[in-house]
């Protein structure tokens, strides 16, 4: 298993503190420019005013060195279908991203995305095939192509090479804050931004990640490295188990800085991906507690990861965590349900469970007493990101727009069966999640 640990243990006391830290992270690698433009339009399927932001990431010179992975959802959006083809093209020169509408199974969706790529190519003197399109937003609606074509030229004067923060903000929908992570390697840098996860806006489910580097990593190596780092980062998180139709992780190298040490690059990229993945969960819809599940003693890594995913996706355990309720019975229920359904041979006599470092199950039986209950409640409270506020209109919303800390509810599951391990990060299930996805009508 590729082992990656969290690179930071940050705390922020205010939005301003967090913003200052983001600005430190945001310096663009050499060879990239980004810009955004926002405009109003009226969706065809539900005629009422809406706003869309276009975000353009442009290379000074097109590059052969790019990599991307896309959703496994069987109904991928048009930009994903195009993006898969773009992996076979010779050069990428730009990425054009829109929020608000995801362009999934909409009539003439691919033609719409190709029109946008052609327009970007015209503005940047590139072939359309050198432009990666990306969309996030309502599934099923059609892109307002004419309005987008009209707005695209207004992005050009906004292009700048200093900061990725405008792009990290531009791809947001109802994310509470932009997400940026960077690493410095051998005189170059890796800077990634992420949008998601969960249904950031009612109707919308997408995680989009763009990682830019000036380090000259050839295409074949870049793709192999991305494939390896995806598993323990973006494939090890879950907000609500709902795989989006548009998930995209793209890595682009401008090649401005030589990269003598590919191993160091891989480690740095893995850390950027892992930290962005946790950021995505920490900013996941309605999440008040991030839950980190470490499965050890497993016979193989994929089984360990699947078990971790089952725990962070178990609604009843998630609700208990939301309520600062150390309901360890539900944890055992979730493990047992997955093991029973997946045919995972599990020996309760060898299983050990800890929450917040406190032993709660061993030798086939629970290890509980009233004192442990008090300590477990304290652990849950210490990992809370904000307190839920009872709203007068019944619509719950998150009480912070920055991550106050990076603490997690720590679950350790030792299967006592083998030497493999995996770590999975997820979150609780809260009134804020239900409000975001049920109470606001689209």
Tell whether residue 430 is a contact of a copy of itself (CB under 8 A): yes
Q: What is the enclosing helix (H) or strand (E) of 362? A: strand 358-362
CB 268 within 8 A of CB 224: no
Name the DSSP letter for residue 88.
T
Of 34 and 103, which CB lies nearer to a copy of itself in the complex structure? 103
Given 161, 231, 297, 329, the residue binding a copy of itself (CB under 8 A): 329
Return d(Cα 278, Cα 292) in angstroms, integer: 9
CB 304 within 8 A of CB 346: no
Given 148, 339, 358, 385, the residue binding a copy of itself (CB under 8 A): 339
Tokens of 336: 């047992």
Q: How many residues bind a copy of itself (CB under 8 A)?
A: 80
Tell whether residue 442 is a contact of a copy of itself (CB under 8 A): yes
Of 168 and 310, which CB lies nearer to a copy of itself in the complex structure? 310
Residue 129 C-beta: closest distance to a copy of itself, Å: 24
Return d(Cα 268, Cα 263) in angstroms, integer: 9
Q: What is the gyration radius of the CA atoms in the chain, in angstroms? A: 22
Burial of 289 (0-12, 13-18, 19+ CB in 10 A): buried
45-74 residues in contact with a copy of itself (CB under 8 A) are: 45-47, 71-74
Neighbouring-strand partners of residue 32: 59
Neighbouring-strand partners of residue 249: 69, 209
Given 98, 129, 136, 203, the residue binding a copy of itself (CB under 8 A): 203
The CA dihedral of 352, 292, 245, 85, to the nearest 10 degrees, is -100
Return d(Cα 328, Cα 354) in angstroms, integer: 10
Tell whether residue 319 is a contact of a copy of itself (CB under 8 A): yes
Binding mask 125-164 for a copy of itself (x = CB under 8 A): -------------xxxx-----------------------
Residue 442 C-beta: closest distance to a copy of itself, Å: 6
**Annotation marks residue 271 as catalytic:** no
Residue 349 C-beta: closest distance to a copy of itself, Å: 11
Residue 257 C-beta: closest distance to a copy of itself, Å: 37
Tokens of 347: 């020996």
Question: Strand, helix or coil at 292?
Answer: strand
Given 103, 135, 244, 254, the residue binding a copy of itself (CB under 8 A): 244
Q: What is the enclosing helix (H) or strand (E) of 32? A: strand 32-41
Active-site position among 206, 245, 271, 296: 206
Return d(Cα 62, Cα 128) in angstroms, integer: 12
67-106 residues in contact with a copy of itself (CB under 8 A) are: 71-76, 102, 104-106
Residue 153 C-beta: closest distance to a copy of itself, Å: 30
Given 187, 258, 315, 359, the residue binding a copy of itself (CB under 8 A): 315
Given 90, 227, 241, 302, the residue binding a copy of itself (CB under 8 A): 241
Residue 360 C-beta: closest distance to a copy of itself, Å: 9
Residues labelled catalytic: 206
């Amino acid at each position: 298993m590729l082992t990656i640990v969290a690179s930071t243990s940050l705390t922020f006391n205010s939005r301003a503190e967090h913003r200052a830290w983001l600005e430190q992270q945001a310096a663009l690698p050499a060879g990239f420019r980004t810009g955004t433009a926002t405009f109003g339009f009226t969706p065809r399927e539900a005629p009422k005013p809406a706003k869309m932001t276009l975000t353009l990431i442009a290379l000074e010179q097109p590059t052969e060195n790019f990599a991307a992975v896309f959703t496994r959802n069987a109904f991928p959006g048009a930009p994903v279908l195009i993006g898969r083809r773009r992996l076979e093209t010779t050069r990428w020169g730009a990425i054009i991203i829109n929020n608000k509408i995801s362009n999934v199974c909409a009539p003439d969706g691919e033609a719409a995305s190709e029109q946008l790529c052609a327009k970007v190519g015209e503005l940047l003197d590139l072939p359309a095939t050198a432009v990666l399109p990306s969309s996030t937003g309502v599934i099923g609606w059609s892109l307002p192509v004419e309005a987008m074509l009209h707005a695209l030229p207004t992005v050009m004067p906004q292009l700048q090479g200093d900061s990725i923060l405008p792009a990290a903000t531009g791809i947001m929908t109802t994310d509470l804050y932009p997400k940026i992570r960077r690493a410095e390697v051998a005189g170059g840098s890796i800077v990634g931004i992420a949008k998601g996860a969960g249904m950031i806006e009612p109707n919308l489910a997408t995680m989009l990640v763009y990682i830019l580097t000036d380090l000259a990593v050839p295409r074949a190596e870049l793709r192999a490295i991305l494939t390896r780092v995806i598993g323990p980062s973006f494939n090890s998180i879950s907000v609500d188990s709902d795989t989006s139709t548009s998930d995209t992780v793209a890595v682009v190298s401008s090649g401005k800085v030589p990269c003598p040490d590919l191993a160091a690059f891989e480690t740095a990229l893995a850390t950027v991906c892992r930290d962005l993945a946790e950021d995505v969960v920490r900013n996941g819809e309605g999440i008040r507690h991030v839950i980190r599940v470490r499965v050890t003693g497993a016979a193989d890594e994929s089984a360990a990861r699947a078990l971790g995913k089952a725990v962070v996706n178990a609604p009843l355990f998630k609700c208990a965590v939301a309520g600062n309720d150390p309901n360890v019975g539900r944890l055992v229920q979730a493990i047992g349900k997955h093991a029973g359904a997946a045919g995972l041979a599990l020996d309760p006599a060898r299983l050990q469970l800890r929450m917040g470092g406190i032993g709660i199950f061993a030798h086939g039986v629970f290890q509980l007493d009233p004192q442990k209950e008090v300590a477990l409640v304290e652990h849950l409270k210490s990992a809370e990101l904000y307190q839920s506020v009872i709203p007068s209109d019944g619509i719950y919303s998150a009480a912070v727009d920055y991550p106050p800390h990076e603490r997690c509810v720590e679950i350790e599951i030792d299967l006592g069966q083998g030497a493999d391990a995996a770590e999975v990060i997820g979150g609780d299930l809260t009134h804020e999640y239900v409000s975001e996805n049920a109470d606001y009508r689209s």
